[in-house]
């Protein structure tokens, strides 16, 4: 059974390990440099009050995924960005769905009107995930340079709350 709860500093190590495994595999996140516990702690501490972080954990307390929404100065007021990370090998088990249902409700409660997801165009799994949640394409960003120098297109999808 998967349980969703707010993420906190005590989760940073496990969240970093989960995300680093995804980064090492490559192809499904725009992040290209491994992250540490300290990296995640910094992200958690630097998020504005209208940010939401959730973790999905199993009955043993092992984190199976996490998701966050936060404001982005490049988006209009009332919009926020979303990021979702699910433990490798657990796709299709409903972890992302449970995270999104909780995050969506919290985003509405904070007054957001819509959620933006910007995904690498070559990340078919990520594109399918957001599409299956009801996100709709609204722009394509060609030739985006990642931190490692790789050039990829990105697709922005919108979910109206």
Owning domain of residue 23: 3-160
Residues 121, 155: contact at Cβ < 8 Å?
yes
- What pLDDT does residue 27 have? 64
Residue 28, pLDDT > 80, answer: no
Residue range 93-127, pLDDT digits in tens = 799 999 999 999 999 999 999 999 999 999 998 99
Report residue 42 as tokens.
Answer: 């910094």
The CATH number of the domain where 32 resides is what? 3.40.630.30
Q: For the residues 37-62, what does the mean pLDDT come to?
A: 93
% of the chain exceeding 70 in pLDDT? 99
- pTM, 2 dp: 0.92
**Beta-carbon count within 10 A of 44 CB:** 17
Number of domains in the chain: 1
């Amino acid at each position: 059974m998967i349980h969703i709860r707010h993420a906190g500093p005590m989760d940073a190590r496990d969240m970093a390990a989960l995300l680093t495994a995804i980064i090492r595999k490559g192809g499904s996140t725009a992040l290209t440099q491994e992250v540490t516990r300290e990296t995640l702690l910094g992200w958690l501490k630097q998020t504005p009050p209208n940010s939401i972080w959730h973790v999905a954990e199993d009955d043993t307390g092992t984190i199976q995924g996490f998701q966050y929404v936060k404001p982005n100065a490049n988006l209009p007021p009332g919009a926020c960005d979303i990021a979702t990370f699910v433990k490798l090998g657990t796709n299709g088990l409903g972890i992302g769905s449970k995270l999104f249902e909780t995050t969506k409700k919290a985003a509405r409660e904070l007054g957001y009107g819509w959620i933006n997801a910007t995904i690498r165009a070559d990340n078919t799994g990520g594109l399918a995930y957001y599409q299956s949640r009801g996100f709709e394409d609204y722009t394509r960003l060609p030739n985006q340079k990642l931190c490692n120098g790789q050039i990829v297109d990105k697709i922005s999808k919108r979910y109206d709350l």
